[in-house]
Amino acid sequence: MSGSGTCFKSGMKHFFSKHTGLLIWGCLCAFSLSAQRVVFRLGTLPAGTKGPVYLAGSFNGWSPADPAWRLQPGDSLIRHLGQPGAIIQMKCTLGSWQQVEQAADGADMANRTFRLNSDTTVTLHIAAFRPGGANAVVTRPRTASAGVAVFDSAFGLPSLGVKRMVRMYLPPDYHRGNKRYPVLYMFDGQNLFDEATASFGEWRVDESLDSIFRKTGKGVIVIGIDHAGPQRINEYNPLDSSSFGLGYGEKLISDVVNVLKPAVDRRLKTRVGRRHTWVAGSSMGALMATYSMLHVSGTFGAAGVLSPAFWINTSLPAQVAAWRPTAPTKKLRWFFYAGDMESKEMVPDMERIARMVDRKNERTAILVVAQARHEEAFWASAFTHFIPWLLAR
Parse the chain into domains and list their residue ranges.
6-27+142-391, 37-129
Q: What is the pLDDT of residues 245-301, one digit of tens each?
A: 888 999 999 999 999 999 999 999 999 999 999 999 999 999 999 999 988 768 999
Tell me the C-alpha distance between 290 and 293, whole Å.
5
pTM above 0.85, yes or no: no
Task: Report domain 37-129's class.
Answer: mainly beta
Adjacent-strand bridge partners of 302: 278, 333
Q: Which helix (H) or strand (E) holds 213?
A: helix 205-216
pLDDT in tens, 157-166: 999 999 999 9
Measured distance CA(379)–CA(372) in Å, rounded: 9
pLDDT (tens digit per residue) in 333-389:
999 999 988 888 899 999 999 988 887 667 899 999 998 989 899 999 999 999 999
Q: With CA atoms as reference, report the closest residue to 6 among 268, 367, 274.
A: 367
Per-residue pLDDT at 3 exceeds 50: no
User: Across-strand partners of 7?
Assistant: 16, 368
Distance CA 160, CA 158 (A): 5
State the Cα–Cα distance between residues 189 and 385, nearest whole angstrom: 20
Q: Across the chain, what does the average pLDDT equal?
A: 83
Segment 178-200, tens digit of pLDDT: 999 999 999 999 999 998 887 77
Fold of 6-27+142-391: Rossmann fold (3.40.50)
